[in-house]
């Protein structure tokens, strides 16, 4: 049965819309992949610097292992190890920020940066823009326990739909920052929502 002109147009446009969504999703995936590679590259560089590029060092081997699990390429890993042994390379420092977010949620943000003042200003601005501010050291950390893989919430918190949306926006803004390595929060269900949006 022949389609009308409008039906043909609708069919073509639905295909175009689907392609646009795929392109948008691919762009998001590529951006997240690039951010992930950059994150692990910094981590490997800082660990390589500590042990002068000795890949048998426990901390560097662990960083490389984590990067491989996330499919970071061998080329990126090798360059990061070499960069860590370069005396002219900028020193990267590990920094941590604590804060309270939507609904009284606790957050711990870790970063690797070559400029602590810039990183602090940028993270402070992200919180300020969302209507929150950084807290003093130790004020949010008590809500987490330290593990080999980072921080685990000890006091899980459920948020209202409104507060959850604010948290998702805040979390995404922090994750997009170049220096931020990880964002830990005690909010229940945030990981699932973030994965659904990808």
- The side-by-side arrangement of strands in the sheet containing 180-185 is 134-135, 93-100, 106-113, 180-185
d(CA 24, CA 140): 36
pLDDT of residue 7: 56
Range of weakest confidence among 10-14, 151-155, 160-164 = 10-14
Enter the tokens of residue 195.
């994965």
pLDDT of residue 93: 85
Mean pLDDT of 33-49: 80
pLDDT of residue 27: 46
User: Could you give the 3-state DSSP secondary structure of residue 162?
Assistant: helix
**CA distances for 184 relative to 120, 121, 131, 147, 153, angstroms:** 17, 19, 19, 12, 8
pLDDT of residue 67: 85
**CA distances for 154 relative to 133, 140, 184, angstroms:** 22, 11, 12
**Residue 91 backbone dihedrals phi, psi, to 5 degrees:** -75, 130
pLDDT of residue 14: 47
User: Could you give the 3-state DSSP secondary structure of residue 108?
Assistant: strand
**Percent of the residues in the chain that have a pLDDT greater than 90, as a whole number:** 40
d(CA 188, CA 165): 13
Whether residue 174 contacts residue 183, with contact meaning beta carbons closer than 8 Å, is answered with: yes
d(CA 49, CA 35): 21
Residue located via tokens 């762009």: 27
Longest dimension (CA), the chain: 72
Say how many CA atoms lie within 13 Å of 187 toward its Cβ.
Answer: 29
pLDDT category at 145 given cuts 50, 70, 90 is very high
* pLDDT over 70 at 122, yes or no: yes
Q: What is the enclosing helix (H) or strand (E) of 152?
A: strand 150-153
* pLDDT over 90 at 117, yes or no: yes
Q: Which structural domains are found in the chain, ordered by start?
A: 5-85 (1.10.10), 93-197 (3.30.70.980)
pLDDT of residue 150: 85
d(CA 97, CA 81): 27
């Amino acid at each position: 049965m022949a389609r009308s002109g409008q039906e043909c147009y609708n069919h073509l446009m639905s295909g175009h819309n689907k392609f646009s969504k795929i392109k948008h999703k691919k762009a998001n995936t590529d951006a997240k992949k690039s951010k992930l590679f950059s994150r692990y590259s910094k981590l490997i560089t800082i660990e390589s610097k500590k042990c002068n590029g000795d890949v048998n060092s426990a901390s560097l081997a662990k960083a490389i292992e984590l990067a491989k699990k996330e499919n970071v390429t061998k080329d990126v890993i090798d360059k990061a190890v070499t960069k860590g042994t370069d005396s002219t390379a900028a020193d990267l420092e590990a920094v941590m920020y604590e804060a309270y977010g939507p609904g009284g949620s606790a957050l711990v943000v870790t970063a690797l940066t070559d400029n602590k003042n810039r990183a602090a200003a940028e993270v402070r601005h992200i919180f300020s823009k969302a209507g929150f501010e950084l807290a003093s050291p130790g004020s949010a950390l008590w809500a987490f326990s330290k593990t080999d893989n980072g921080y685990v919430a000890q006091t899980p918190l459920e948020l209202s739909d409104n507060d959850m949306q604010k948290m998702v926006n805040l979390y995404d803004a922090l994750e997009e920052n170049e220096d931020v390595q990880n964002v830990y929060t005690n909010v229940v269900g945030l990981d699932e929502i973030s994965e659904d949006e990808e």
